[in-house]
Structure 1
Amino acid sequence: MALVHGPDMEALRKRKTPDIHYREYFLWPHINIEDLSQPNILPLLLNSRSRNYPSEFSGADEAAFQLGRDFSVIVPIYLEGYTMIMNAPANIEDYGKLIPSSKYSQAFSWFCTSQQYSVGEGLLVLEIQERLLGFLVDCSKSILHDIPAEILISDTFPVQANPGPPSNGGLNSLSIMAAEAPYRVPANLDLARLESLLEARMSAAEDHLWALREDPNYFSENIFDEKEHQEEVIKDSNGETHPEIKPGCDSIFWVRVITGVLLAALINLEVFSELHRQARNLRDLQKKHEHEMEVGKDLPQEYLLALLQFRWYATQVTQGPVKKLSGEFPASPQLRKYHVRHPSEKNAEMKADIKLNDIESKLLGLLRTLWPDYYSSLIMGIAPLFLNELERLIGAEKPTSELISRHNAAIIGDINILTQCVDQVNMYLPWARTFDYELRKHETDVRKAYSDGIKRWGGIVAPFSGENLSKLTKLCNPSDRRFYYSIEGRRTKDNVEMLQKAEDNLAKLWGVVDQLIHDNCPNLHGTKIEQFLSQIHNVRRIPEWIDRKSDIIQKPEKEAPSTNEGSQYGPSSTIYIGVPAESADKLEHKKPTTKTKGVPNPTQPSTNGDTEEEGGDVIEASISLDPKSLRVFGIMLSDPAETSNPGEIAWKDLLHAMTATELFEVQKLTGSIWEFRRTDGPRKILLHKPHPRPKIPITIAKIFAARFQKMFGRTKETFVLKEKKV
């Protein structure tokens, strides 16, 4: 038995072309000492395999050695004229039965469509199951060593009711579920979960785009992050700087960086919106045809075509972030020292004389295995193996996580989400075995549906290319601190003027961008981008400076708290695609209101925990918190006019505070992505854990707070200190 987790990946890392001596590692990759020693894993395996027929695991057991087949370590034999029954046999005694094509005409069709197995594939699955079940029998005998083996299967010890799989102690994350999946009964396609995940990512993309429009500080951090990951910043072999980034010659470089940030934000919004729409449609079709779907029968044609289109779309759009990661990973500050450019060239390569330690070698080797042909890896189903190994490496080795920048961690997170979309469909067994065959039959329709969708928003590239770039040159260069926006300090007259100047510069840039999109993208009708640009949204602006010391107007003794204190509001843009002009005029004078909901309280007649006074005003129910949690919300919702430096927030303190409200359930999804879900409904938010330092600066905390307030409401005054029990 292998000693370490992922022995197939370990063998691949040590030898680029593993030989037959590693066959066992690729045939039983999940049977190893490290994994089986973890809590719950062996009980899960015993429970699943002892309570279900081997036929239910045939697809998963075949998928487990796919990596070995791709590298020719596992080579199934070929026996012409026969098919093996492994999938949903009509009679359990027929499991593993050979069917000659000469006597059963349907046998050849089963073989061609992969509804059943070739003889070589079937024998490999039976070999896996024979050894695995023998191992579990030996484990059971060892655990129950004080009971004679012949008595164990007698009536003296009758079969007990299934207690169900062991609990993971309340922990719930995609990484834990991925680690336990090989030891559980293969799961059905969870479209509700997939839809929910994509909805949250779509919402995050929209919030990101609004923050880029509204917050000069957030905008600056993103463009400087992007700049630090361009290969031009790597010095060449002579130690010289790339000519395009030298002072006075960097205007085009900055235009490319900033338009890259804006274009990526717009495309991500459209991509995840479209995937969410398709996932929702799949869930509706699954419910519509649930009574027609039976193992051993073909899927309804409408549902099958939608699955193929979803898989194709997710596979195609995954290539974007993979290409971006491959280009920007070498230039990241943490890995720049390992790479070099040739003079006057942009592309970098690994230094020939560099010596890597074991952790660096593992990380770079894993990533470089993914980049060359991620598309094929995704289709064949082995890409999730590499991503799971990457996530495990980052989580297990602190030095590894320190090599991943925050910028690259976010890209890896998106690749993980898109890969999971494809993997979910690929694991929709037993039907997934036929998807490649069905795709060849319906490829024209699938490709057309994809290209028609891309045509609607593919033109979004036009505003950021060609002669249009010259219109952005003077507005994009941040070297003159045009977007400098420090909100940490206490408000002063000079500080306010500086903030307002940065807001004006950002508004001018977006004004030109909006005009370019309006002029160059006539076919955005029906896209999420059009919906985003057309909606009425107020952008927060810093108000004019008022010298409070000289202000002779007295405030009333009691003033209602306001979530908008210290800010004025204006329209997000002067251009509204699809919005009547009068709507824009009305927006100039409209100030947004925040609708809030409280904690359910069974002692009150209100269903949402808030009470309503005679005039119709909603009074928020207060939330009592411990001092640590109260400090977190105090920082997130602090007023710059009152607090000069509220400090940072530890990530673990944010998790503690959010769960302490009893309004949220917190779940780690994948990579740096965490999900915050309302306990009283489906609403959720995705946040990236700060990386590599797990501290949230006030600038990012303000972005988090704005996203929570936008979706869930709540003001600083809502949170009060919990009274100590006597």
Structure 2
Amino acid sequence: MNASNTIDFRTLNPRAQDLIRQRAFRQRHGDNSRLTAEEEVIIQEGLGRSEAILPETVIREAKEASVSIAKNYKLLKETLERYEDAIRKRWVKKKRDVRKEILLDAWGKYRPMAVCHRPDLQAFRRASGGRGARGSVTDSVDVYMWPHVNLEDLMDTTTILKFLNSRGRHAPALFAKMDLESMQLGRQTEALKLQHLPEFHWIDLESEDPQIYGRVKKLSKCTDKVENAVESLWVLKAQRRILKFLVKVCRGILHDKDIDGSALMEAPIQPEPPALTATVGEFSTALDLNREIPYLVPRKLDLSRLRSLIKSRLAEWEDYACAMREDPGFFAEVASDWSEHASERVLGLGNRKHPDLANPARITNFWDRTLSSAINEPYENLSVWTIINTQLDELLKLHNDFVESQTEEVDDDHPYLEHVGRIRFLLEVRLLDKLQRELRFIFPSSPPIRHMYQSTSMLELRSDMPKDDALIWLVDQLRPNESMCPAEIIVAELNRLIGMDKNQKDRITPMVARFVADLGLGYELRSQLFMLCPSMFDGYNLYENRRIMDWAKEKLLPLYDLKMIMGHNHAGDKFLKLGEAGNPSKLYYPVDKRPTKDNVESMQNAERNLCHVWLRFDAHMATHLKPATNAYFLGLFPKKEVQRTPDWVEPHGPAPKNKVNEVTQQMQQASFADENTGPGGSRFIAPEPKTKIKTRGQGIQPDSALAAEAQDAQNQKSRFTVKKKPKQVFSTLFYQPTHTQQPGEVPWTDFVQALAAIGFLPEKLYGSVWRFAVSRTFAEKVGVESAINFHEPHPQVKLPFRIARRYGRRLNKTYGLDGSSFVLES
């Protein structure tokens, strides 16, 4: 098929474009309602595809494809059973130009192989008006049917070997759904021709029997088993060419072996080689795992990973929220980030500044809005992630019973399905949609990018800017309900581009990286839920489920109430103006400086100012929210001891009495409130005094001695013997201030390797996020099994001391680690 089969959507009439967008939007949101017959005709006429396919054509092509699939699958399977180890050894030794020649010859020169990763996305970008796609790809519909067959991915050392193993060791039926999903972009944008049968037909893509797989059956009426036979025919065509290609790859590698004759069967069957690692590099990365999915056996649901991803993200937001209240430096950083990513920073027509930034008398208005956004974010995320976590816990309690009941018909209102639907709603409607909308403002306003945009009624790319920028185009495609490209494809490519293209690193700020990371995580969770229960995604319309909608309305009502007293566009006279009190200029917190009297006083002053901000906020909440709603938000915050800077002690003089100023005392005595706190109460509670057990001297009692011995044994058990470099990292993380020195920065690679050395299992997720699961040995030592997330510094490669210190406090809070937990290896 030639280039004329690739649709240029700009050439369609506006009505056809609008209808295609409507249909794509319904598919993304599980709405199985169809367009009217008249509307379908408009689309088909606009695309020039009004013809129908004959049943005889489907039957003939399905039979030809199934026969070819059975033949090549059998040959590939028998070849791998005898020569897979030899194929691996030979492929690894070959140079890149030889690998390229083998792949191109195997795919065929008549319809050449695509060059770049995701050639379907590059073709869609050109058809949508974006120019300058990286690499050159063919314009035929091949790129939409086989997007994972491309040189960039397959020339890797292990990718083709995994592809051979999965397709040659497992029946084609196992890959049918995955192969259809890989065509998602072509199907949704109409780049793949979707013809309709005048009669009801069904193609068997479930049987592992080669005599049955691909068989066409005519049905007398439409039933639940009927699927679009044309889409099933696409799967057969895709698998036919893939298996034929893989057999030819084997021939190219085993050029001195006769794998088509009787000699193959005479060769002895060998044990299957060990599984190839599914990661690239020293530590696993989500980008590598996702890139390899099309070449592996469809993954099974990993409930432990699903649970860990959600719990570690919730724990991260809890730490984030606590740090906002406790650490003036962190609060100032967050406020500054929101300030630097505000749309007001983008110049208007004629390079005019926003009035609130141009007029000194109005600058406080800008900071009022900025502080509102900075404070609302942890409340929003704590609330949503807490609900998701609770729903997942309920879901897992029902999981085993539900799986065992799959032989019976399950009603749509089954509690298990309802919990899946609830989590799906929170992910799609509250989390992902909100992140995509916010990123469309935060990214153009970010310091490295804002010069490319101008502010009119919205943020628009300047006319003198190049239109072939891949990063700009990808973010632009995240417009809610407008782009025909599935958002999960765009987010995956966005994460890949940021992670692999060094030229993009300086263009991505830490805040943008965090939003991109949350999008990547959200879509991975959605994918995991899809595997858990496909029926709640494929064609299921959540908005028609009244029970889920009523539940969501009730659960999200507190966030609506919060918006109505804190959102600057909604609160009116109730809007709380914190811009003057919470301005970062009043929160100078030199924790990374050498301790001096002036620095200590600056830190104490910042702590008092931060306390004042939160006392005003708490009072505002108590005044304008219903008591039950206020109690709900108070309950989201974990109770923890608030650390405050002690008074300055002269290095050689006597220590003054421990005096705590009045405001700091308020901070220490209040609470991240318990349920009995009244409407006017604050959020902190004083920690209980700690009694240190004496282990030496005359006064020790027998019971105390036993307790001390037990404590000593526990301390010994939880100590880690580490080498010099990890010991230096932990000394910085758990640094004890002195008057003479202050530690420097920590290289990120040293930080990761130090945690790995004591039993953490690092995994690079999305954006800047790394997830550190714990090994069984580490969990037994510290008594904690939960994972923890940390953000890689961006674009720099070292952790500043203030962030390293913050990470150390999180490790202490979660696992009880401190400076005494590590012993230098002798």
Partner in structure 2 of residue 469 of structure 1: 575
- Residues 186 and 538 from structure 1, CA distance in 2 versus in 1: closer, same or farther, beyond 3 angstroms? same
1:431-478, CA deviations, whole angstroms, 9 ceiling, x for partnerless residues? 626734443695222322222221244322233133333553542334
Classify the secondary structure of the residue corresponding to 1:550.
coil
1:78-113, CA deviations, whole angstroms, 9 ceiling, x for partnerless residues? 1122232334349653322223232xx5x53323xx
Classify the secondary structure of the residue corresponding to 1:235.
coil
1:263-317, CA deviations, whole angstroms, 9 ceiling, x for partnerless residues? 0111111111222222233333222223233699999944333323322221012
- Residues 409 and 594 from structure 1, CA distance in 2 versus in 1: closer, same or farther, beyond 3 angstroms? farther
Looking at structure 1, the residues matched to 254 and 234 of structure 2 have their Cα atoms a distance apart, in angstroms, of 30
**Identical-pair percentage:** 27
Looking at structure 2, the residues matched to 136 and 40 of structure 1 have their Cα atoms a distance apart, in angstroms, of 14
5 Å-filtered alignment, 1:356-371, equals 361-371=469-479
Check if 1:590 corresponds to 2:688: yes
Looking at structure 2, the residues matched to 202 and 572 of structure 1 have their Cα atoms a distance apart, in angstroms, of 26
Looking at structure 2, the residues matched to 683 and 339 of structure 1 have their Cα atoms a distance apart, in angstroms, of 43
5 Å-filtered alignment, 1:161-560, equals 161-163=271-273, 165-168=275-278, 171-245=283-357, 246-293=359-406, 301-317=414-430, 318-342=432-456, 347-355=458-466, 361-373=469-481, 382-427=486-531, 432=534, 435-439=537-541, 443-464=545-566, 465-470=571-576, 472-478=578-584, 481-522=585-626, 529-533=633-637, 535-551=638-654
Classify the secondary structure of the residue corresponding to 1:708.
helix
TM-score, normalised relative to structure 2: 0.75
The alpha carbon displacement at 1:525 in A equals 6.0
Contact 1:491 1:640 in 2 (8 A): yes
Partner in structure 1 of residue 808 of structure 2: 705
- Residues 15 and 543 from structure 1, CA distance in 2 versus in 1: closer, same or farther, beyond 3 angstroms? same
Classify the secondary structure of the residue corresponding to 1:677.
strand
The alpha carbon displacement at 1:500 in A equals 1.0
Query: Which amino acid is 1:715 matched to?
Result: D
Looking at structure 2, the residues matched to 101 and 236 of structure 1 have their Cα atoms a distance apart, in angstroms, of 62
1:615-655, CA deviations, whole angstroms, 9 ceiling, x for partnerless residues? 75653454333222222122222233345431111111111
Classify the secondary structure of the residue corresponding to 1:498.
helix
Looking at structure 2, the residues matched to 325 and 627 of structure 1 have their Cα atoms a distance apart, in angstroms, of 42
Query: Which amino acid is 2:266 matched to?
Result: T
1:578-608, CA deviations, whole angstroms, 9 ceiling, x for partnerless residues? 1358x9999436247999xxxxxxxxxxxxx
Contact 2:672 2:683 in 1 (8 A): no
Partner in structure 2 of residue 62 of structure 1: 180
Contact 2:114 2:138 in 1 (8 A): no
- Residues 266 and 593 from structure 1, CA distance in 2 versus in 1: closer, same or farther, beyond 3 angstroms? farther
Partner in structure 1 of residue 761 of structure 2: 665
Query: Which amino acid is 2:727 matched to?
Result: L
Partner in structure 1 of residue 68 of structure 2: none
The alpha carbon displacement at 1:410 in A equals 0.5
5 Å-filtered alignment, 1:7-46, equals 7-16=119-128, 21-46=139-164
Contact 1:338 1:351 in 2 (8 A): yes
Partner in structure 2 of residue 51 of structure 1: 169
Mean Cα deviation higher: 16-25 or 708-717: 16-25
Mean Cα deviation higher: 383-392 or 120-129: 383-392
The alpha carbon displacement at 1:392 in A equals 1.7
1:539-564, CA deviations, whole angstroms, 9 ceiling, x for partnerless residues? 111112222322189xxxxxxxxxxx
Looking at structure 2, the residues matched to 594 and 436 of structure 1 have their Cα atoms a distance apart, in angstroms, of 60
1:686-711, CA deviations, whole angstroms, 9 ceiling, x for partnerless residues? 01111111211111111111101101
Looking at structure 1, the residues matched to 242 and 437 of structure 2 have their Cα atoms a distance apart, in angstroms, of 40
The alpha carbon displacement at 1:328 in A equals 1.4
Query: Which amino acid is 2:450 matched to?
Result: R
| Structure 1 unaligned blocks of 5 or more | 112-116, 554-566, 596-610
Partner in structure 1 of residue 101 of structure 2: none
Partner in structure 2 of residue 602 of structure 1: none
Looking at structure 1, the residues matched to 302 and 719 of structure 2 have their Cα atoms a distance apart, in angstroms, of 37
1:329-381, CA deviations, whole angstroms, 9 ceiling, x for partnerless residues? 11101001111234xx6x4321111236x6xx01101110122437986xxxx
Contact 2:420 2:536 in 1 (8 A): no
Partner in structure 2 of residue 628 of structure 1: 725
Contact 1:514 1:573 in 2 (8 A): no
Contact 1:426 1:432 in 2 (8 A): yes
Classify the secondary structure of the residue corresponding to 2:527.
helix
Aligned residue pair count: 672
Partner in structure 2 of residue 606 of structure 1: none
1:4-24, CA deviations, whole angstroms, 9 ceiling, x for partnerless residues? 111111212233179994300
Looking at structure 1, the residues matched to 762 and 262 of structure 2 have their Cα atoms a distance apart, in angstroms, of 43
Query: Which amino acid is 2:564 matched to?
Result: A
Structure with the higher helix share, 1 or 2: 2
Contact 1:231 1:328 in 2 (8 A): yes
The alpha carbon displacement at 1:71 in A equals 1.7
- Residues 136 and 495 from structure 1, CA distance in 2 versus in 1: closer, same or farther, beyond 3 angstroms? same
Partner in structure 1 of residue 79 of structure 2: none
Query: Which amino acid is 2:316 matched to?
Result: A
